[in-house]
Amino acid sequence: MSKPMFLGVIVAGVLVGGVLAGCGGASGSSDVVVAKVGNTPITESTLNHWTATFVRGDFYSANSSKAPAGLATDPPDYAVCVKASKTLEPISSSGKPTRSAAQLEHRCQVLYKLVRAEALSYLISSLWAVGMSAEIGKHVSDQDVQRYLGGYIKREYRTQQAFATYLANRGWSIADMHYILKRNLLSQQLDPALRHRAAALGGGERAYGEAYIASISKWTLKTHCRAGDVVARCKGYKAKPAKTGPGEASPAVILEEIATGR
């Protein structure tokens, strides 16, 4: 397995795998519930954790340097993101930053909303994988992940120090890595199961597509999201028309702009 990327393991076009949505993030009894998959909640603190984790990892991928603190902040804290962005803004020949504070705030707002949606979709699909795995009698224990991690470190990083540096550069914790690896291990079990269901429908790519659509439809109906946080995979989600005009950059493009000062 190559070094993990957040969106790197895809089964039939859908992110899969994972453990409880709270893994890797703080949670509490008073936490606001953003979404539920069946009876399992995704809380605001968990979503905030993974939003920031996405930003830190993607920023390092774009710039090979650590992200300044505060890039993934929600209102009313866009001022923190603006301050962080200013540290990377080039200075014009007149001695002034190339972007105004209002422009930086708008970019912070767009970045936060886009990455938050990606993180929520990621967490939902992780819980789907837990449910899908349970349906076929499969699971991955913490001990399984720990055993895999030992071999993974030797294979990909060779030393514990190199692995620790990899995590530190991206601002990830060992719990984040456990989450990612557990998701990946579960994903390896789900595709064969989906193909087995397709075989029962007659086999072939058409049958595989039918089995895939049936599974996605089933889990979409189990997924309820709070108004304002309805993303793909939520029940009631309606896709918006694609936009290609100026200012419709992806999170990766925005982070690269911030990282390079463009």
Q: Using one digit for the tens of pLDDT, what is the confidence trace for 19-31?
A: 344 444 544 445 8
Q: What is the pLDDT of residue 177?
A: 92
3-state class (DSSP) for residue 1 = coil
**Cα–Cα distance, 76 to 123 (Å, whole number):** 24
**Cα–Cα distance, 86 to 261 (Å, whole number):** 9
Encoding tokens for residue 258? 């911030």
User: Which residue in 58, 4, 6 sits closest to 253, CA to CA?
Assistant: 58
Q: Which residues pair with 14 in a beta bridge?
A: 11
pLDDT per residue over 172-228, tens digit each?
A: 999 999 998 888 888 788 888 888 888 888 888 888 888 889 989 999 999 999 999
Q: What is the pLDDT of residue 15?
A: 33
Average per-residue pLDDT in the chain? Answer: 82
Neighbour-count burial for 217-243, b at 16+ CB within 10 Å, e otherwise: eebbebbebeeeebbebbeeeeeeeee
Q: What is the pLDDT of residue 30?
A: 55
pTM (two decimals): 0.81
The pLDDT-based confidence of 62 (bands split at 50, 70, 90) is confident
Cβ proximity of 51 and 116 under 8 Å: yes
The pLDDT-based confidence of 245 (bands split at 50, 70, 90) is low
Q: Which residues contact 49 (CB under 8 A, 6 or more apart)?
A: 24, 25, 26
pLDDT per residue over 133-143, tens digit each?
A: 888 888 889 99
Which one-letter DSSP state was computed for residue 91?
Answer: B
**Cα–Cα distance, 111 to 132 (Å, whole number):** 31
Q: State what percent of residues in the chain have pLDDT above 70.
A: 83
